[in-house]
Amino acid sequence: MRHIEQSPKKPLPVLTAHTGTNADLLPHILWLYVPEGSVIADVTYGKGAFWKKIDTTKYNLCPTDLLIGIDFRNLPYKPTSIDCLILDPPYMHGGPTIKLSLNNCYHNANTGHESVIRLYAGGILEAARVLRKKGICIVKCQDETESGKQRFSHIELIHLLEVFGFSVVDLFLMVQSTIPITREGPQKSARKNHSYALVARFRR
């Protein structure tokens, strides 16, 4: 039986829901779906927060990000050259940081929910270009509320993945260990304190 060497304190079986951070979740996803030695493109690498509990020498990790000038919608990889791609772009339309990222970095005309989904679409389409057949795409996302309307991003992205040639084979739930900031005024819907990791396999 295999063991999750990157996270030895976590007992089997691997569960769909986790409390903690992306660093706690990623070892489980890799253990199930990405063999050691695989070429992994983390195209929103940032400061490497996902990889804090993983021995990266066991994979051929290709980290890129806007911080080094590489847009995940235009990757420097040849077609069918990647085994696994990790996509974790800004997934909330509100707030100055996200607006700055969406407008200045990704050149979106506006910062509404539809712009967030279009950003994902560009990344998924590029993933379809660089992934090998049966390659794995790990997509982090979070549902949101826009102008009082529930926007279930994970459902929209599942549909996008299927349109672009992927089969969604698993869904993981990450629950925040802290309580979300409460805004002033009456609460009209439940505050979202979870995000998703969609695991999709490229069919073509």
**For residue 56, what is the DSSP state?**
G
Q: Please give the Cα distance from 157 to 159 (Å, whole number).
A: 5
Instruction: Please report the domains of the chain, with CATH numbers, ordered by start residue.
Output: 24-176+189-202 (3.40.50.150)
How many helices (H) does the chain have, and how many strands (E)?
A: 4, 9
Strands (E), the chain: 17-19, 39-42, 60-63, 82-87, 131-141, 144-146, 149-151, 166-175, 194-202
> What SS3 class is residue 139?
strand
Crossing angle of helices 113-130 and 153-163, in 10° steps, is 30
Q: What is the pLDDT of residue 182?
A: 67
Each residue's pLDDT tens digit in the chain (204 positions)?
343 444 445 457 899 999 989 999 999 999 999 999 999 999 999 999 999 999 999 999 999 999 899 999 999 999 999 999 999 997 654 544 344 344 445 554 456 888 888 999 999 999 999 999 999 999 999 888 766 777 788 999 999 999 999 999 999 999 987 776 666 777 777 777 789 999 999 997
- Residue 147 φ/ψ region, left for φ over 0, alpha for ψ in the -120 to 50 degree band, beta for the rest: left
pTM for the predicted model, two decimal places: 0.83
Q: Please give the Cα distance from 66 to 105 (Å, whole number).
A: 7
Q: What is the pLDDT of residue 91?
A: 60
Q: Please give the Cα distance from 77 to 67 (Å, whole number).
A: 18
Q: What is the pLDDT of residue 133?
A: 95
Q: Please give the Cα distance from 43 to 122 (Å, whole number).
A: 12
Q: Name 140's Cβ contacts closer than 8 Å, sequence gap at least 6.
A: 22, 86, 87, 88, 91, 195, 196, 197, 198
C-beta neighbour count of 35 within 10 angstroms: 12
